Amino acid sequence: MNSQPNNHTTESKDVGSSSSNSSGNNNLPQKKILSDSKFQHSTEPSGALNQVRHRFPDVFQQKGGSYADLPAAKISELMKSSSLDHLLMQNAPTQSLLSVVNGILEESVERRNGEIPPRVACLLRKVVQEIERRISTQQGHLRTQNNLFKTREEKYQSRIRVLEALASGTNEENIIKEEKSAHDSKPIEKIVIEEKKTKDINHVEKTKEDEKKKEIDREVIRLMKEVEDKNMEKKEIDKEVKRLIKDVEEKNMEKKEIDKEVKRLIKEVEEKNMEISTFKQELEKMKKRYEVQCTKIENIERKDIDKEVEGKNMEKREVDEEIMRLKKEVEEKSMEKKEIDKEVMRLKKEVEEKNVEISTMKQELETMKNRYEEQCSKLKSEAEDVELELKQKSREHEAIMEKLRNKVRESEAIMESKYQKWNMKQNIIQKAVSFQFSSIQKLKLSWESIKQDVVKERMIYKEECNRLGVNLKPLVHAAENYQTVLAENRKLFNELQELKGNIRVYCRIRPFIPGQKEKQSIVERIGESDLVVANPSKQGKEALKTFKFNKIFGPTSTQAEVYDDIQDFIRSVLDGFNVCIFAYGQTGSGKTYTMSGPNGATNESLGVNYRALNDLFNISSSRQSSIVYDIGVQIIEIYNEQVRDLLTTDISVKKFGILNHSQPNGLAVPDASMHPVKSTADVIKLMDIGLKNRAKGSTAMNERSSRSHSVVSIHVRGADKKSGSTLQGNLHLIDLAGSERIDRSEVIGDRLKEAQHINKSLSALGDVIFSLSQKSSHIPYRNSKLTQILQSSLGGHAKTLMLVQINSDVKSYSESLSTLKFAERVSGVELGVAKSTKDGRDVRELMEQVASLKDTISTKDEEIERLQLLKDLKNVSNSEKLED
C-alpha cells in the first residue's frame, strides 16, 4: 500500500513545502498531513488518472468481450497484475476506482444483461471497501489535524504566556530591584547625601532603562493584541474546521448509506444473477431433455413421434413461453437493473458531487490550514523574534542591573570607607576640639597676661613716641633745611667752578677728513692739558711750540668725551648762572661739528648744543619737585656786524637793538623772537630752522663756510616752589665764523668785507676776555656786536668756555698758530696758572671747605633717610593703634 502512484512527484513537492513550514518536533503529524495530501491529490483528476480511466475498458474488451467469459484465473490475474487490484495496490486515486466500478457496472448491464460475475462483484466490494477505508482515513487525518491545531494553539498560548510572564517578570524584577534599592537606602543623613549623588548619577540611566522597559511593554502589549487577534482568527478557523468536519461526517454518513444501498443493490444483482444462472442451468437441462426426446422420437413411430412431437412442441412452446416469460422476466430484471444502474449512477454522481464538495472543503481546509500555519509560523517567528528581543533586552537589563549593582556595591564600599574615614576624622576632630578647648583655656589665661603686657607696652610705646617726637624735631628741622643745604651745595659747586676758572679754554684737534690728500700734521704731541705743535718750515727745538689749555681733545676724541667736560657748565645755568660756550677756530676746523654735529647726526655724533639742551631738560625735570623751570630759545646771527633773528620770517624788523645792561629777563636782544620749549625735540626743530637760515658762503678754505656768528640763547627761568624765589640763567651757544686770515682766504669784495667784520668781532672778543681776565676797569664790550650781546655772559659771575678748534693740517699751520696764540692769551691770562699758584693756600682752604661741606651733606642725607624711615614706622604704628 505504500508504493507510490503516478502522482508521486506532486506529493513529494507537497511534502517538501509542508515540511519546510513545520517544526522538527511535528514529524508524526507531518506524515499524516502527507497522507492527507496524497488523499487530496487522489481526488483530483490528473493525467495518469485519465490514462487509467481510458485504458480500463480496453483491458476488459481485449479479454474476449464478457466478464463471464473470462476464466477465473484470468480475472484473478487481471486483478492481481494490471487492473483493479493493481490500481488498489498502487493506491490509485478514488476517482479512478469509482470510474472503474462504473465501467464494470456499465459493462455488466450492456453486455451481460445486468449479470455481474461474482468475482467482479467481489472486486467492486473491494473497491467500495477501499473507498470506505480512505474516507475513514481522511476522517482520522482530519481529526489528527484538528488535534495538531489544538496542540499548536496550546503551544502558542503557552509561549504567549511565557512571553507575558517574561515581560511582567522583567517589570516585577525591576520593581523588586527598585524596592530593594529603596529599602537599602537607610536614613543616615550622610549616606543619603552620598546615595542621592549616586542616584542622581544613576537617574539618567534609570530613566533610559524605564523608557526601554516601557517600549518593551508596549511591544509586548502590541504582540499580545496581535496574538489575541490571531487567537480570535484561529477560533474562527477552528469553528470553520469543526463545521467542515461535521459536514464531512454528514457526507460520510450519507456516503455510508449510499454504500449500503450500493451493497444492497449489488446483492440484489448477485441474487438476480444467481437466479439467472439457475434458470440458465434449468434451460440447459430442458434443452438436453429436448434433444434426448428428439432422438427418442426418431426411434419411435412417426405418428407417435408426430404426436409426441406435437406434445413436445406444445411442451416446447410452453418452454418457449416459459423462456419468453423468463426473458421478459430478465428484461424486467434488466429494466430493474437499469434503474438500479441509474440509481447507482445517480448515487455515483452524488458521491462525485460529495467528493467534489469534500475536495473543495479540503482545499478550503488546506488553504485555511496553510494560512493558519503561515500565520502560526509568522506568529511563531515574531514570537521568537520578540523572545529573542526580550532575551536580548533582559540580557541588557541584566548587564545594566549588574552594572548598577556593581556601582551600588562600589558606592557602598566608598560610603563605607568614607564613613570609616569620617568616624576617624570625627575622633580626630573631637580630640583636636578637646585639645583646642584646653589650649583656648590656656590661651585665655595667656591672653589676659598679654593684655596686661600690651597695656604696659603701650605705656612704654607712648613714652617712646614722645621721646621720638622730641628727637624728631631737630631732624624735621634738618629736613626743612635740606633745600637750604642743597642751595648751599649748588653755591659751593659754582664756587668750585669759579675756582676752576670762569673762563675756560678747551682745545680740540680736528682729525683728517677722509679723502684729504695731505695728511701731514703739525701736532707733535697731545697731552692732558698741553699741546706741542711743530712749525713745518723749521727744524729741531725751534720748530716746537707748547700751548697749555684746560683740556686738550685729540683727533680721536668723541663728541661725548668733549661734552663730558662741558656738562658742569650746563648745571650752572639751572642754578641761575649765565654760561657762554663758543667755538673758535679757522674755517673748516670743526666748530659746527663740535657745536651741532655733522649733517644727519646720530646719537653718538650729536653736538654740544643738543647734548646741553638734553641735559637742561633732564636736570630741570629731576628738580621739578622743588623748582619749576620755564625755558625759552632765541637764535640770532651776527653777520657783517648786523644782528639777524634766525627764527622769524618777519622781515619788518630790520635792526635789532642790543641792550648793554642785563635786563631783569636777561635778554640782550629783546626784539629777537623767543620760543618757549618743553623738550629737546622742540629745541632741535628750532636749531634746524636756524641752521637753514644762517648765512653761508664759499671760501677758498671751505666750500660752505659759516660767514656769521650764530648765537643760540637758551633762557632759563626757575621758580622755587617752597620759597617762591626765582632764578634766571642764560646759556649762549656760539658757533663763531671762521677766524682765517684774509690773505689766505683769498677773498675780495663782499667776502672780504665779511672776513673783515669777522676778524674785527673776534679780536674784540679776545680783547674783552683779556680785559676781564686782567680785571680791567674798562671792558671793551662795545667794540663789536658779538661782545655787546655776550656782555652779560662774559662778565660778572658768568662762566665762559671757549672751544678752540684746530685743523692740524700743515697747510693750516699759520691759522692754527694764530688760533692757538689767541686761545693762549685768553686762557693763560684768565686762568692764571700763576695766579692759581699764588693763591694756592686759599684754594686749598676752599677745597677743604668744599670737602667738609660735601661730608656734611652726605651725613645730612643719611640722617634724613633715617628720619624718613622712623617717620614711616611711626605712621604704621599710629595706624595700627587706630585699628586697635
Ligand X SMILES: Nc1ncnc2c1ncn2[C@@H]1O[C@H](COP(=O)(O)OP(=O)(O)OP(=O)(O)O)[C@@H](O)[C@H]1O
Q: Which residues here bind ligand X, judged by CB under 6 A?
A: 510-511, 513, 585, 587-593, 598, 702, 705-706, 738, 805
Q: CA of 551: how far to CAs of 192, 375, 530, 563, 827, in Å?
A: 96, 128, 8, 12, 11
- Choose among 601, 615, 616, 591: nearest CA to 506: 591
- 340 or 804: whose CB is closer to ligand X? 804
Q: Is 151 annotated as a binding residue?
A: no
Q: Is 278 annotated as a binding residue?
A: no
We find the least distance from the C-beta atom of residue 566 to ligand X, in angstroms, to be 15
- 26 or 589: whose CB is closer to ligand X? 589
We find the least distance from the C-beta atom of residue 694 to ligand X, in angstroms, to be 9
Q: Is 587 annotated as a binding residue?
A: yes
We find the least distance from the C-beta atom of residue 605 to ligand X, in angstroms, to be 8
We find the least distance from the C-beta atom of residue 525 to ligand X, in angstroms, to be 19
Q: How far apart are CA 63 and CA 76, in angstroms?
A: 13
We find the least distance from the C-beta atom of residue 505 to ligand X, in angstroms, to be 17
813-827 and 750-773 are packed helices; what angle lies between their axes, rounded to 10 degrees? Answer: 30
- 576 or 588: whose CB is closer to ligand X? 588
- b/e map 854-866, b = 16+ CB within 10 Å: eeebeebeeebee
We find the least distance from the C-beta atom of residue 706 to ligand X, in angstroms, to be 3
- 705 or 812: whose CB is closer to ligand X? 705
Region label for 600, one of left (φ > 0), alpha (ψ between -120 and 50) or beta (otherwise): left
In single-letter form, the type of residue at position 786 comes to L
We find the least distance from the C-beta atom of residue 534 to ligand X, in angstroms, to be 21
CB–CB of 671/648 below 8 Å?
Answer: no
- 339 or 703: whose CB is closer to ligand X? 703
Say how far residue 13 (Cα) sits from the centre of its chain: 64
Region label for 777, one of left (φ > 0), alpha (ψ between -120 and 50) or beta (otherwise): alpha
- Choose among 643, 710, 714, 642: nearest CA to 675: 714
Q: Is 293 annotated as a binding residue?
A: no
The total of other beta-carbon atoms located within 10 Å of residue 79's CB is: 20
For 399-465, give the secondary structure using H, E and C. HHHHHHHHHHHHHHHHHHHHHHHHHHHHHHHHHHHHHHHHHHHHHHHHHHHHHHHHHHHHHHHHHHH
Q: How far apart are CA 67 and CA 125, in angstroms?
A: 16
Hey, what's the cell of 375? Answer: 500565520
* 2 Cβ contact list (under 8 Å, min separation 6): 91
CB–CB of 63/78 below 8 Å?
Answer: yes
- 496 or 513: whose CB is closer to ligand X? 513
The CB-nearest residue to ligand X is: 590
608-622 and 680-693 are packed helices; what angle lies between their axes, rounded to 10 degrees? Answer: 150
- 641 or 682: whose CB is closer to ligand X? 641
Residue 210 CB-half CA count within 13 A: 9
- 99 or 702: whose CB is closer to ligand X? 702
Q: CA of 182: how far to CAs of 177, 179, 187, 246, 686, in Å?
A: 8, 5, 11, 61, 94
We find the least distance from the C-beta atom of residue 813 to ligand X, in angstroms, to be 16
659 CB burial (10 A radius; 0-12, 13-18, 19+): middle
Q: Is 47 annotated as a binding residue?
A: no
Q: How far apart are CA 720 and CA 629, in angstroms?
A: 9
In single-letter form, the type of residue at position 723 comes to S
Q: How many helices (H) and strands (E) does the chain have?
A: 23, 14
- Identify the helix (H) or strand (E) that includes residue 697: strand 696-697
Q: How far apart are CA 237 and CA 374, in angstroms?
A: 13
Hey, what's the cell of 605? Answer: 655724533
Hey, what's the cell of 806? Answer: 684746530
- b/e map 340-365, b = 16+ CB within 10 Å: bbeebeebbeebbebbeebbebbeeb
Hey, what's the cell of 717? Answer: 627761568
Look-up of cell digits 680736528 = 510
- 426 or 516: whose CB is closer to ligand X? 516
Q: Is 589 annotated as a binding residue?
A: yes
We find the least distance from the C-beta atom of residue 560 to ligand X, in angstroms, to be 12
- 497 or 587: whose CB is closer to ligand X? 587
- Choose among 497, 482, 463: nearest CA to 723: 482
- Choose among 529, 530, 527: nearest CA to 546: 530
Q: Is 430 annotated as a binding residue?
A: no
Q: How far apart are CA 680 and CA 601, in angstroms?
A: 15
We find the least distance from the C-beta atom of residue 601 to ligand X, in angstroms, to be 10
Quick check: helix, strand or coil at residue 140? helix
We find the least distance from the C-beta atom of residue 710 to ligand X, in angstroms, to be 9
- 533 or 562: whose CB is closer to ligand X? 562
Quick check: helix, strand or coil at residue 716? strand
CB–CB of 806/820 below 8 Å?
Answer: yes
Q: Is 592 annotated as a binding residue?
A: yes
Cα–Cα–Cα angle for 62, 68, 73, rounded to 5 degrees: 75
Q: What is the DSSP letter of 781?
A: G
We find the least distance from the C-beta atom of residue 798 to ligand X, in angstroms, to be 24
We find the least distance from the C-beta atom of residue 722 to ligand X, in angstroms, to be 44
- 376 or 580: whose CB is closer to ligand X? 580
- 550 or 705: whose CB is closer to ligand X? 705
- 517 or 778: whose CB is closer to ligand X? 517
We find the least distance from the C-beta atom of residue 734 to ligand X, in angstroms, to be 12
Q: How far apart are CA 70 and CA 622, in angstroms?
A: 162
- 729 or 738: whose CB is closer to ligand X? 738
We find the least distance from the C-beta atom of residue 595 to ligand X, in angstroms, to be 8
Binding residues: 585-592
Q: From the annotation, which residues make up the binding site for ATP? A: 585-592
